[in-house]
Amino acid sequence: MTTLASAPEETVSAAAPVAPPRRRRGRGGKVTAAGPLTYVLLGLTALVSVFPLYWTAVAASKTNAELAGTPPPFLPDADLFTNIGRAMEEAPIGLAIVNSVVVASCITVGTVLCSTLAGFAFAKLRFRGNGALLALVIGTMMVPTQLAIIPLFILIAELQWVDHLQAVVLPTLVSAFGVFFMRQFLSQALPDELLEAARVDGASTLRTFWSVVVPVARPAMAVLAMLTFLTAWNDFFWPIIALTTDNPTVQVALAGLGGGYVPDTAVIMAGTLIGTLPVLVVFVVLGKQIVGGIMQGAVKG
Amino acid sequence: MATVTFDSATRIYPKADRPAVDTLDLEIGDGEFLVLVGPSGCGKSTSLRMLAGLEEIDAGSIRIGDRDVSDAPPKDRDIAMVFQNYALYPHMTVEQNMGFALKIAGVAKDEIGRRVAEAAKILDLEDYLRRRPKALSGGQRQRVAMGRAIVRNPQVFLMDEPLSNLDAKLRVQTRTQIAALQRRLAVTTVYVTHDQVEAMTMGDRVAVLKDGVLQQCDTPGALYERPANTFVAGFIGSPAMNVVTGPAVDGGIRLAGAVLPVPREKLARASAGTGRVTVGFRPESLEIVVPGDGGTGGGVPVVVNVVEQLGSDAYLYATLGADDDGDVLHTADVVVRTEPRTAAAVGQTVHLRVREDCLHVFDPVTQLRVD
């Protein structure tokens, strides 16, 4: 599949005649230059992934009538800014983006921090009930969100937090998935010797966490941050219950767009487009943090 | 500088049926280089970790100097440890790795810089101070781990098989360097290894452990000359000492029909009650004799299986035949060191004699040395 030149060598060196050489190469983790076919496949995948975003931009710059035509339009129009303007008038999208950034950032910071702390404790600290507590945490993942919505709403209402952002932030500050994810990562990526070295060096547990655990956990923290930010940004169910269109998050605001006898697809798409841009920025920023091989050279063997 | 004392220190892991370290009594002198050695699972690393404070002490106590540190956390023990896999902080440079402990202790920045530079000079690491561990070779990483211990200027160095990840050549070289460095710094050092050559070459004294129990603690020379029991006898020295058990007869032990002379008094004490005796003799203390030569019974006959030529020496791997009297069927493998030029051929029967005063006698039941 990759370089043709190396194929004969591979066949010769593959001593076991049962295993086809190509499979061996695939599992061996050998780094070879990508061939044309790889590029074509990757390019196609990229196209398929990017197309919905492009279509959003196209649709956001048309009118309903143009969108309904055959063939559908494939090039964006100059009407984009008009449509965005109409979307901003129909719903407080500016406020919604600010709200969503605040909410998603708080949830992301809270989840990553709490999950890393808890994951570290579950993975590396010895305490009574460690296993049982972890099982309990994982068990909560099996409880459907819908089941907790009504009691949660009653609680929030009693606190008079309805239509306040803390109603959306606080219930999701830590996630069972995040705890489990960080625990799994740290239990295999963080050698015990590193923690013992820090202990002998005189670091307290908290100091060890900041100076040793967090640097090692950074790639996983970045992944968790991306996932959490995306989930928080896209969350609709709980925000539309706890908030109103007076103080919405992006998804709540979008729900109020293009209403009327016929949904105004162009306006909805325009709103969606500006509601998506901040997420793209987060991806670009955090993607760089996921650097592989940071543990290389810490311990031998 | 300080002494280290293990006072009946015991460690029992949860759910284990026997202690990992069983009432260890050990006194380590000020500035002494003590090596803990033994096969894997003998409790040597556990002992070291108990001293480091990484492992609890279930009974007994450990003192550094006059201070009982049994319940003290690692940071209050004034020790520094070198780990088997080095345990360098991957995201810190060599400089930061070495200075981390001082930084936590709140030492002033320029003082940290001075001490790191000093240690780097000793260890020849000056050119690598700004590198991360992953950009270093195995030997350099090992030196950084040493440096991290040195800058702390601790009362005790703890080293847990620090050479086991190096290749053979570098290991021999580093072995000498560590020993020299320790003499120069004169810091009390406890060194764990499973390699008896390392133990013999580096230690002022060597403590041999087996199954969590201290077998013997003495100078390398004494361990070699006067092993306290058959385990130490077999563990120290390479190739290992030959240890065989046979019936005690008048004047010695009967092996393969011949009699190997054993001093009368030792024989009497070792064989009391059982009529048997265990003897040990090193490959290098054996001589090949011509049968019927002299009054010593002509030597013990063995059949050569393999001849190993090492250039300076040759080793014969031979089988000690069964007793032809038929009452004790005893075969054993025996290793003999000989001159390379006069080595016997495979399949040949040679007769062996043990050089005078080179025979070790053990009680066959207790396995203890009889003097």
* Cβ <8 Å between B89 and A212: yes
What proportion of chain A, given as a percentage, has pLDDT over 90?
45
Averaged over A227-235, what is the pLDDT? Answer: 91
pLDDT for B34 = 96
Contact B227, B239 (CB under 8 A): no
Burial class (CB in 10 A: 0-12, 13-18, 19+), A33: exposed
CA distance B343 to B321: 20
Residue A14 has pLDDT above 50, yes or no: no
Q: How far is A186 from chain B (nearest CA, A)?
A: 14
Q: Which of A124, A128, A200 should be substituted to probe chain B, the one whose Cβ sees the most B Cβ atoms within 10 Å?
A: A200
Of A64 and B218, the one with more pLDDT: B218
* Cβ <8 Å between B87 and A201: no
* Cβ <8 Å between B83 and A197: yes
At CA A270, angle to CA A264 and CA A276, rounded to 5?
130
Q: Which residue of A has its CA nearest to B53?
A: A200
A219 pLDDT tier (thresholds 50, 70, 90): confident
- Three-class SS state of B198: helix
Q: Which of B48, B49, B86 should be substituted to probe chain A, the one whose Cβ sees the most A Cβ atoms within 10 Å?
A: B86
Candidates B74, B135, B141; nearest CB to A300: B141
Contact B71, B62 (CB under 8 A): no
B72-114 confidence digits (pLDDT tens): 999 899 999 999 999 999 999 999 999 999 999 999 999 999 9
With both helix axes pointing from N to C terminus, report the angle between A130-139 and A176-189 in degrees, rounded to the nearest 10.
140
pTM (2 d.p.): 0.79
Q: Which residues of B273-293 are buried (b: 16+ CB within 10 A; e: fewer)?
A: eeebbbbbbbbbbbebbeeee
Q: How far is A51 from chain B (nearest CA, A)?
A: 39
B54 touching A (Cβ < 8 Å)? yes
Residue A16 has pLDDT above 70, yes or no: no
Contacts of A197 in chain B (CB under 8 A): 81, 83, 87-89, 148
- Three-class SS state of A194: helix
- Three-class SS state of B9: strand
Q: Which two tokens stand for residue A109?
A: 């910071």
Contacts of B141 in chain A (CB under 8 A): 297, 300
Contacts of A202 in chain B (CB under 8 A): 74-75, 101, 104-105
Q: Which residue of A has its CA nearest to B140?
A: A297
CA distance A275 to A88: 11
Contacts of B136 in chain A (CB under 8 A): 297
Q: Which residue of B has its CA nearest to A194?
A: B87
CA distance B150 to B138: 18
- A75-84, A114-123, A233-242: least confidently modelled range: A75-84
A42-53 confidence digits (pLDDT tens): 999 999 999 998
A298 touching B (Cβ < 8 Å)? yes
A295 touching B (Cβ < 8 Å)? yes
What proportion of chain B, given as a percentage, has pLDDT over 70?
95
Q: Which of B56, B89, B167 should be substituted to probe chain A, the one whose Cβ sees the most A Cβ atoms within 10 Å?
A: B89
CA distance B29 to B8: 17
Contacts of A299 in chain B (CB under 8 A): 83, 85-88
B75 touching A (Cβ < 8 Å)? yes
Contact B191, B51 (CB under 8 A): no
CA distance B215 to B223: 11
Of A286 and A244, the one with more pLDDT: A244
pLDDT for B325 = 56
B200 touching A (Cβ < 8 Å)? no
A18 pLDDT tier (thresholds 50, 70, 90): very low
What proportion of chain A, given as a percentage, has pLDDT over 70?
85
* Cβ <8 Å between B75 and A199: yes
pLDDT for A21 = 42
* Residue located via tokens 């605040």: A102
Residue A35 has pLDDT above 90, yes or no: no
A283-295 confidence digits (pLDDT tens): 777 766 654 444 4
- Three-class SS state of B307: strand
Q: How far is B41 from chain A (nearest CA, A)?
A: 18
Contacts of B104 in chain A (CB under 8 A): 201-203, 207
B220-254 confidence digits (pLDDT tens): 999 999 999 999 999 998 888 999 888 888 888 88
pLDDT for B253 = 87
A293 touching B (Cβ < 8 Å)? yes
Secondary structure E strands in chain B? 4-11, 21-28, 33-37, 59-64, 67-68, 79-82, 156-160, 188-193, 205-210, 213-218, 242-249, 252-255, 258-261, 276-281, 286-289, 300-309, 314-320, 332-338, 349-354, 360-362
Candidates A193, A215, A294; nearest CB to B87: A193
A81-116 confidence digits (pLDDT tens): 888 888 888 888 889 999 999 999 999 999 999 999
CA distance B326 to B161: 48
Averaged over B10-29, what is the pLDDT? Answer: 92
